[in-house]
Structure 1
């Protein structure tokens, strides 16, 4: 039995050391390669001044720098060089000093194409913080007058502008904009006191404003600031991803990018996804189980429950933790899986889950930490389908059996062990 236990323990340790690290499937890799790794959406807020250059009634005029102008827009960039934005603008026109009194309101909504001059002209070769956008399009607008004509003057409009950008962070940019708007079918002058002489394209407004652009999305950069260098970097990452994915780390004949078990035991048969074949789901690959049956005479019944129970109770099945952490390390989750499979195959059995900590820190803190580690493993087992009533948690505090000054030795005792009964 000791020889059998020794062979089986070596097998178990191999399984734990080569635990499944679930890797990206082929589709995930393809998605990462095809995805544009930049943010596309932004929201823009601006405020400033306006100047209606025509058309105004004779004797009426506004200040050279006339308040108030404001606009808000939503922009989507299909690429770092081109996008579309939908925006709304508001302007108020009032008399200048020593001219007849008037007040009118002009509002518009436009759909505009946006060209990123900064990217088109490769600004990134000399600056990463300054950019320029050209925007232009068509929309609808309306004019109302407080003390002039009655009703609302509805118009179409064309719009063209230039926006300078200064990047404050990956999420915010400061902007300064100069825009010209020309109206079609305008019936009344901007002061509202008389009608226009022509309704073709007679009304012209200039806006100058400053504002902020807020970038939305989960990626690090917005399209406004993605240049050719970023493309080359991204290409290198893609090539590296493909090269890495085509490696076969565990030599099982399945490339890592397709392999759901990239560290399977060498020489053990795997399926098309690189997973060790384990028909009876007892945690032991069929080929190794067949070897044990043949060598130790298990009469075709697989590795005996008594052997598995001795492995568990003998401390060969463990779950390990990083320093000051109650979250199991990924590679040691195979220990929980081994216990879960055993309990599912033996519904009459229960298990103590026993937590330990190293000697770094106070004893009271380590007692609490060992309890938390055991509770964490219990929760994993419950999530895997084991009834909570079959699991008993014990916090054993510090394990002083190793040299506390050895980093490697302390890693060994930061663990959870099991006792099945």
Structure 2
């Protein structure tokens, strides 16, 4: 990076002499705000759900003469549970999945319904496919915390008669039969918390190789009965996974939108890369000197052309040679300009975020002040530290003071009398857009004031 102090001096001298070359302010590019979507991707939603249910099972048919369908209420009108199950569900996608349940049903008549006494115990394993109908029909946004599942599959059960045998009847106490049936049902549900929901389930099971009546009597071994059972239950579900939201209610982001967002992000990144803060025609990501003077020729890396390597861009050097002489009056005028340049903040040294040590490429400002103090032994200066707005104000106040202290120590080690150096903290500099990385670089600095 070329010596900023000499460049700034030449610019001020040119301006004070009504020259036609003027410096342009560095363009500040406001960083675009990136809003993270609240949706999750398909692979991120909670896939596993545990459910526990309690309810009532009712054998619809068949029954032997004198036996009736089991009741759902006692004579006192209180609901009695006779069915219990526990299961797990896995969703292979937001709309489709599988579930498995282990169940226990104790079917019997209740006193007062006119039926003969009977009892049938059924233990079952049910394997089913599940459809999240709320997502399938795109109504999940409309119904909010409500949800709706449809399920169907195969049930394997073991039926055991607990009906006491009577002389001459066909009941077989303790006899067990294995059976197979088809199940279909639906489950309205309501989410009560991020992971827990209340489930109301209704399903019907149809058995096609049943030999037991629901009252425990056994039919002809050759003929299969067409058995039917209805179950209603109330339960709780708990969603497992890394996400906080229940898998049935997680907002799933469409894959097409995901691709569009990725393209938008790439465009934004390209726009950022193509920013040209100093307007020299070289994008910032290639620019090794992104504070070059407007109108001065630069090379392909954005560095101002200085063929003779004297620290002064060739175009400004030619202008100085053509405009100024070596008269004593000119020297005095330049001395005043130097002091004005220092006091107006044109001489600076810069710092990385949260650092109090100057960057290696920005020590020219300290060199300039060191030369000035040596050439003006009666002069003293204020060393003023600045910070950007990122972070707590109290921290930034201390950081700015630390930067000023760091520059003072450098000058003291260069054998400048400490009594000529006074440190000041200017704290946060709010003159630039704090959302712009490029703009914040301009205010993480130390400036000087000649007394």
| TM-score (norm. length: structure 1) | 0.51
- Counterparts of 1:63-102 in structure 2, within 5 Å, are 63-65=71-73, 67-98=81-112, 99-102=115-118
Distance change (3 Å), C-alpha of 1:214 and 1:264 = farther
Structure 2 equivalent of residue 215 of structure 1: 239
3-state SS of 2:66 partner = coil
CA distance in 1, matches of 2:211, 2:6: 97
Gaps of 5+ in 1: 8-31, 254-262, 269-286, 297-314, 321-331, 337-357, 371-399, 416-421
Give 1:76 shift.
Answer: 2.3
- 1:196 pairs with 219, 232, 252, which one? 219
Structure 2 equivalent of residue 111 of structure 1: 127
Structure 2 equivalent of residue 153 of structure 1: 177
3-state SS of 1:266 partner = coil
Structure 1 equivalent of residue 260 of structure 2: 239
Distance change (3 Å), C-alpha of 1:231 and 1:146 = same
Give 1:46 shift.
Answer: 1.5
Structure 1 equivalent of residue 62 of structure 2: 55
Distance change (3 Å), C-alpha of 1:142 and 1:335 = farther
3-state SS of 1:185 partner = strand
Structure 1 equivalent of residue 158 of structure 2: 142
The CA RMSD over aligned residues, in Å, is 5.4
CA distance in 1, matches of 2:220, 2:5: 103
- 1:185 pairs with 209, 223, 247, which one? 209
Distance change (3 Å), C-alpha of 1:239 and 1:360 = closer
Structure 1 equivalent of residue 419 of structure 2: none
Structure 2 equivalent of residue 397 of structure 1: none
Give 1:48 shift.
Answer: 0.9
CA distance in 2, matches of 1:335, 1:138: 74
3-state SS of 1:88 partner = strand
1:41 aligns with 2:48: yes
Give 1:79 shift.
Answer: 3.2
Give per-residue Cα distances to partners, 1:352-394, cap 9 Å, x unaligned. Answer: xxxxxx9978xxxx9xx99xxxxxxxxxxxxxxxxxxxxxxxx
Distance change (3 Å), C-alpha of 1:252 and 1:129 = closer
CA distance in 1, matches of 2:253, 2:97: 18
- 1:133 pairs with 124, 149, 153, which one? 149
3-state SS of 1:184 partner = strand
Give 1:67 shift.
Answer: 2.7
CA distance in 2, matches of 1:166, 1:4: 67
User: 2:150, 2:185 within 8 Å by CA — same for their partners in 1?
Assistant: yes
Give 1:69 shift.
Answer: 0.9
Structure 1 or 2, whichever has the larger Rg, is 2
Give 1:5 shift.
Answer: 13
User: 2:42, 2:94 within 8 Å by CA — same for their partners in 1?
Assistant: no
3-state SS of 1:402 partner = strand
User: 1:80, 1:225 within 8 Å by CA — same for their partners in 2?
Assistant: no
Structure 2 equivalent of residue 120 of structure 1: 136
CA distance in 2, matches of 1:56, 1:401: 98
CA distance in 1, matches of 2:358, 2:57: 71
User: 1:39, 1:215 within 8 Å by CA — same for their partners in 2?
Assistant: yes
Give the number of equivalent residue pairs.
288
Distance change (3 Å), C-alpha of 1:235 and 1:221 = farther
Give 1:195 shift.
Answer: 0.4
Distance change (3 Å), C-alpha of 1:264 and 1:143 = farther
CA distance in 2, matches of 1:218, 1:359: 33
CA distance in 1, matches of 2:152, 2:158: 19
Give 1:235 shift.
Answer: 4.1
Give 1:78 shift.
Answer: 3.0
Distance change (3 Å), C-alpha of 1:50 and 1:6 = farther
Distance change (3 Å), C-alpha of 1:195 and 1:335 = farther
Structure 2 equivalent of residue 266 of structure 1: 286
3-state SS of 1:67 partner = coil
